[in-house]
Amino acid sequence: MGLTHLASAEMVQLTGRWLGEQRDLFLSVSEIHALIPRVEQAHQRLLQIASQAAVSPMPGDLEVLDDRHDHLLRAAYYLHRAYCEYELGQTSIDTSQVQRIKESFKALLPRGLLGTKAGYVAEAANAKMAKQAFDSTPSAQKVVGELRLSATVTGRQLVEQWWAAAAELGAAAQAKATTVPDTDPEQGLKHLRARNAWIAIVRTVLTVLEHTTAAVDKVAALRNPVDEAEAKATVRAMARRNAGKTSTQESTGPTG
């Protein structure tokens, strides 16, 4: 999640360290050795696109929408998982109910939490397909109808909020990509694609590092700067989101 909050300049600085001063260290870790060409490709592409881009390197409005989408998707994910774990924990397990929950989960969230790691437009498309799958899967409709997040929020309300957030995110991403004041009408979309490609390969490297047999200090040297930058960017994004909410409330006045 947090990598999406990084500015493009921060992104290329992080992979620039891997490809420069830490190159020998990176190559010494056997599990990620073969990934360096892909890191170089993503780094160079983003560096090139970002230097030409007329758009902001950190599209704040898209970040806010993406945050909402990701949080709602996770809520749907964990609500299904909690229901399944509860059923499996009973003295007498209702296997048919467990199967229905699994079918609902597969229909709505075929990629699980990886659904939060796609690009903005892809996340919107995935949510649209989830809605279509839901409409054609009776077991999903039954399970979601039984779920409750709280006394006032039903499972159906949750997934509908997720789908709505995804649609809004996709529309905003497409609008930003097509309204960039640049001689190249595709520039905004190219920038977003380059950022997403960078995020994808960096996440892959970080995931592999979680399972490497390399020395702990080597792993820490490679991933700590990324983790620290990601944490700072997330705090920064949350502050902007809260500031935007406050500004809206002040401009519109009380709503209740």
Three-class SS of residue 143?
helix
pLDDT for the residue numbered 188: 64
Phi, psi of 94 (to 5 degrees): -85, 95
Q: Which one, of 158, 153, 150, lies nearest residue 130 by Cα?
A: 158
Per-residue pLDDT of the chain (256 residues; tens, 9 = 90+): 578 888 888 999 999 999 999 999 999 999 999 999 999 999 999 998 877 654 444 455 777 888 889 999 999 999 999 999 999 999 999 999 999 999 999 999 998 988 887 778 889 999 999 999 999 999 999 999 999 999 999 999 999 999 999 999 988 888 876 665 544 545 666 787 888 899 999 999 999 999 999 999 999 999 999 999 999 888 887 787 676 554 433 333 333 3
CA dist 226 and 216 (Å) reads: 16
